[in-house]
Structure 1
């Protein structure tokens, strides 16, 4: 069971890092989401994977599940949902403002609006 959870965390992290390094906004947003899922699974697994045990220790319970990682994961899910919503709105505003969804700055030599740009990055006087 531990190997399966560790493998899932590794796959989520690798896929998230791959998508974060892309040059378009949508894969970057999906990569950040996968990274938050990996962190959530890691936090949940840090509380020892116990099946069928109560989260509160009572008189008749011999073992229990630590409720702190569960509370941390619940809080992290809410925060990541809000963060994803904000990043999607920012990416949409950036796309609508520049008609391009790249996350990197364009080269100064690439003038897509028709203006002449010199090699040093300054506009030439015409």
Structure 2
């Protein structure tokens, strides 16, 4: 079915704002969707998500830096690579690309989880900035 924006507590999650297709399966208790939205739903209902621990670790180590980078105008898709948590996927020099490929080959699963958690946090912080939330309120919410 077609769905409009997805709200939690009358606030937009930042996904599906222009409408999107959704599937409801009443035969399962599994909730699937964009990781950032699932994390917000889990938080709203008091459930622990699979990446909750990694996410909280990224928030405590990089949360304020992510906020500051976004506020300063850094493109969201470059934030995690600037912090060294993800490989940059945009235009880069050949030597940088080769270095990135070598680094990617030596990355562990934990590094991929850190990258995913960072990307989730970037989307979530962007959404909080759109809602004009204060930095203090946002990080108090995350650390609950």
Q: Report if TM-score (shorter chain) is over 0.5.
A: no
Structure 2 length normalisation: TM-score? 0.27
Greater relative contact order, per chain length (Cα 8 Å cut-off, separation 6+):
2
> Could you say which structure has the larger radius of gyration?
1
| Bigger fraction of residues in strand | 2
